[in-house]
Amino acid sequence: MAVHARSMRPITALLLLGTLCVTSSGCAAVGERAAAAEAAATQFEAALRGGDVRRACEALAPGTREELEQDGPCGTALGTLNLTPAAAPAVRVDAYGSQARVVFPRDTVFLAAYPDGWKVTAAGCVPRPGRPHRCELKGD
């Protein structure tokens, strides 16, 4: 039995090393998703700040854009919203699977992952204690 226990040590070490590698890769993937979501939210905010409604509309998730266009063409409807685009960098980024939240000093942007990248599902969001955020721009 002692021989069997000794032969298990290398296997145990390899299993632990493999688990560590998988765990590290998972963390890197979360970090990469968070960075990509932050970049998408920052580009959306920059488009709003610069008045580039075409680019801002392209950054929207399909359901959000569809909801917005009930009030007219995307660019026109976007201009009617009370959005305060962030000029400062994000202070927090949370990515959970295919959903992300990017918090700027005066705005929170929610995003979803699509095959062609992260898209904005809600923006102009402010937290409400014990309740969901209130968002100026949102889709269904």
pLDDT attached to residue 140: 67
Express each pLDDT in 79-121 by its tens digit: 899 898 888 899 999 999 999 999 999 899 999 999 999 999 9
Say whether pTM exceeds 0.75. yes
Q: Which of 112, 97, 19 is CA-nearest to residue 65?
A: 112
Q: Across-strand partners of 100?
A: 95, 111
pLDDT, tens digit, for every residue of 23-82?
333 444 778 999 999 999 999 999 999 999 999 999 999 999 999 999 899 999 998 998
Dihedral over alpha carbons 84, 124, 47, 120 (to 10 degrees): 170
Q: Provide mean pLDDT across the span 120-124.
A: 97
Is 3 a residue whose pLDDT tops 50? no
Whether the CB-CB separation of 105 and 45 falls below 8 Å is answered with: no
